[in-house]
Amino acid sequence: MNKTKSKYDTLTKLYIKRLIIIISLFFVGLTGHSQILISILLGDKLNSDGLEFGLETGVNWSQISNFESSSALGTWNIGFYFDIRMKNQLSLYTGVLVKSNLGLKNLSENDLERLQAITYNEEGVYSQKLNYFLVPALAKYKFNKAYYVEAGPQFGLMYKSWIEYYSSVNGKEATIKEFNKDKINKLDAGFTFGLGYILGKGKGMTIGAKYYLGLANVYKNVSDTKNSSLFLKVNIPIGAGKKQEL
């Protein structure tokens, strides 16, 4: 019993060390493309019986509370994930979405006034867009070998923010960005829950949905402004198929 526990503790420490190394490499990477390339190159080295590593990609629709506008901002996202087996059907799901936008679309005149944003004479659409590194730490439970549910905290590190004005008049399009990073809180935190299905008899790609409910204010000087977002995602294990064939 003690030997089994000792072996489990050793493997857990090894997985955590690998996790720290790969996250460090991602944040050191100069661009999102270089970060994704690191994932692909290291995928075979990271996958094992107790650890699944791969790419997560999909689309999400986000909103910010306490604004007149309720139009969701739709965008795509991509990153990497770790699924670390803890015990039986329970695992820890974490990673980083390195290309991920949150925000709000179709800001009203009152919304723009609250944000002290620049407005233009030509009619157009104003959107608040925020780039985050999103890091979940979810407890994931698998059942019937293919289905799963997950829940836990998610943390965000904002690295770029702007109000985008878009207009199309007489066939002429214009896009103007007003960067407002200094008005946004750098850190975000909230709660995420989701569910999904694992293809390939529970050993292949995963399709799923999750919902994020932010608990921290987005803006420094605008109260009760919380992020929320619905994610539809696909998880693609890297190198796992080769290991199963051996």
What pLDDT shows up at residue 88? 83
What pLDDT shows up at residue 226? 97
What pLDDT shows up at residue 64? 97
What pLDDT shows up at residue 81? 93
What is the number of domains present in the chain?
Answer: 1
Q: What is the distance between the alpha carbons of residues 105 and 74, in angstroms, rounded to a whole number?
A: 9
Instruction: Looking at the chain, list the stretches that DSSP marks H as alpha helix, in order from N- to C-terminal side.
Output: 2-28, 32-46, 109-114, 199-202, 240-245
What type of residue sits at position 172? K
- CATH number at 116 reads 2.40.160.20
Q: What is the distance between the alpha carbons of residues 231 and 156, in angstroms, rounded to a whole number?
A: 15
Copy the structure tokens of residue 222: 């605008």
What pLDDT shows up at residue 5? 53
What pLDDT shows up at residue 172? 86
What pLDDT shows up at residue 169? 84
What pLDDT shows up at residue 175? 95
- Chain segment 66-124, per-residue pLDDT in tens: 999 999 999 999 999 999 988 888 999 999 998 889 999 999 999 999 999 999 988 99
What pLDDT shows up at residue 28? 47
List Cα–Cα distances, 145 to 54, 81, 196, in angstroms: 19, 20, 12
Q: Are 225 and 217 in contact (CB under 8 A)?
A: yes
Q: Which own/partner pairs from 158-161 qualify as long-range (CB within 8 Å, at least 24 positions apart)? A: 158/130, 158/131, 158/132, 158/184, 158/185, 158/186, 158/187, 158/188, 159/131, 159/132, 159/133, 160/130, 160/131, 161/128, 161/129, 161/130, 161/131
What pLDDT shows up at residue 164? 97
pLDDT < 50 regions, the chain = 26-32, 34-35, 38, 40, 43, 241-246
Report which of 21, 154, 8 is spatially closest to residue 93, judged by C-alpha positions.
Answer: 154
Residue with tokens 């997985």: 15
Residues linked to residue 65 through DSSP beta bridges, in sequence order: none
Domain that holds residue 85: 2-245
What pLDDT shows up at residue 14? 55
What pLDDT shows up at residue 171? 81
